[in-house]
Amino acid sequence: MVVLSKPAIEQLSIANDCSTFLPGVPLVDLSKPDSKTHLVKACEEFGFFKVINHGVPFEYMRDLETEALKFFSLPPSDKQKAGPPNPFGYGNKKIGHNGDVGWLEYMLLNSNTEADYHKFASLFGEAAENFSRVLKVYVSAVKKMAFEILEMLADGLKIQPRNVFSKLLMDEQSDSVFRVNHYPPCPDLEESNGAGDLIGFGEHTDPQVISVLRSNNTSGLQICLKDGNWISIPPDHNSFFINVGDSLQVMTNGRFKSVRHRVVANSSKSRLSMIYFGGPPLSEKIAPLPSLMKGEDSLYKEFTWFEYKKSAYKSRLADNRLGLFEKINVAS
C-alpha cells in the first residue's frame, strides 16, 4: 500500500462525527427455533443484523484472512497484475468509476465462477494455489448460510415457495460478487484530534439481494438508523454481519430496508473484511412479490437486475440508486 501524502489524505472525505455506540443492533442466533421471526424484525427495523451459531467453521475465515493479507502485502506492481476492477480485479483507493475514493485497497471477484478465483490466483505463482483453495471453501460455506437465511426470511414472512429469494442466488447465472477490503491504519488520524473520521469506504447501500460480511477484530463499520443517526458496529471476527440490499427492499415492497452503511478508517489497526454480495441473474425481473403486497400499491417500477446494475455503475457511491425506480403513486 502506498502511503498517502498529506494533500492526498485531504482529498478523502471526513464523516461528520455524529456516530454513537449503541449496543442495540439485532443479534440472531441461527440455531434457535424462533430465529426466523427475529430475522424478519431485524430486516424491517435495521436492514442489518449479526448472526451467531451460523455453522461456518472459524478456520475457513481465518485461512482466507491469512491468504488475503499475504496478497495485500505483495509489492504494488504484483497486485496490479490482477488488473483494475473492471468490474473485477485489484483496486487502490478508487471506488467505482465516478470519482469515489476511500482509504483502502481491495480485490473484487466474480463469486459465481471458480474459474475467476483460479485466474486471479494464477497471477501470483504457486503460492496462489492456497488462496484459490481457501477462497472456494469459504465462499461456498458463506453462500450456504446466505441461502438458509433467505429461506428462513421467506418462512418468517409466511410466503411460498421458501426458496423465492434464495433461488436467485442459487441460480447458475447468479450475478454475485466477492470483495476483500484491506483498510490500512491511518496514523495521520491521531493528529486530527476528533475533527471527524476519515472515510475508509463511503456511505452507500448495496444493490444486490443480501450481503454477508466478516471482518477481523478492527472496528470501522457504521450503519445509519431510520432516524438518520450513525452507529458504530463493534467488530466480531467469529460472527457475520448481514445487510439487506436494494433488490430485497424492492421484492418486499419496502418492508425490508436496504441499510445505508460506511467504514471509517482506524488510526492504529488495519481492518480486513470479506463480503459476499448475493445478486440475481442479469435477466431477472425485480419487482415486489405479489404475495407480499396484500392490496398495497407497488412502490417500484419493475426492472431487470441488468438495468439496475447498469444504472448503479453510473452512480456515485452515496446516491440513492432506488430513487430512479420509485413509483410516484397518486392517491385516488
d(CA 307, CA 192): 42
Using the rule CB under 6 A, give the single segment among 24-32, 39-47, 200-208, 232-240 that binds ligand GA4. Answer: 200-208
> Contact between 277 and ligand GA4 (CB under 6 A)?
yes
Q: Which is nearer to ligand GA4, 156 or 200 (CB)?
A: 200
Q: How far is the CB of 98 from ligand GA4 (least distance, A)?
A: 6
DSSP code per residue over 210-248: EEEEEE-S---EEEE-TTS-EEE----TTSEEEEE-HHH
**What cell numbers appear for 88 in the block?**
473485477
- Going from the C-alpha of 101 to that of each of 13, 202, 245, the distances in angstroms are 8, 8, 22
For the segment 1-60, give every residue that binds ligand GA4 (CB under 6 A). none
Q: Which is nearer to ligand GA4, 103 or 154 (CB)?
A: 103
The secondary structure of residue 296, as a DSSP letter, is P
The secondary structure of residue 173, as a DSSP letter, is T
Classify residue 315 as exposed, middle or buried by CB count within 10 Å of its CB (0-12, 13-18, 19+): middle
State whether residue 148 is helix, strand or coil. helix
Q: How far is the CB of 297 from ligand GA4 (least distance, A)?
A: 27
Q: How far is the CB of 179 from ligand GA4 (least distance, A)?
A: 5
Using the rule CB under 6 A, give the single segment among 37-45, 109-117, 126-134, 312-320 that binds ligand GA4. Answer: 312-320
Q: How far is the CB of 204 from ligand GA4 (least distance, A)?
A: 5
Contact code string over 59-98 relative to ligand GA4, x by CB under 6 A: --------------------------x-x-------xx-x
Contact code string over 153-192 relative to ligand GA4, x by CB under 6 A: ------------------------x-x-------------
Q: Which is nearer to ligand GA4, 38 or 143 (CB)?
A: 143
Classify residue 18 as exposed, middle or buried by CB count within 10 Å of its CB (0-12, 13-18, 19+): exposed
Q: Which is nearer to ligand GA4, 85 or 235 (CB)?
A: 85
Residues listed for the chain: 332
- For residue 283, which of 246, 308, 300 has the smallest C-alpha distance? 308
Catalytic residue among 260, 262, 271, 321: 271
Residue 225 neighbours by CB under 8 Å, 6+ apart: 46, 231
Positions marked active-site:
271
Site residues (vs ligand GA4, CB under 6 A): 85, 87, 95-96, 98, 100, 108, 177, 179, 204, 206-207, 277, 312-313, 315-317
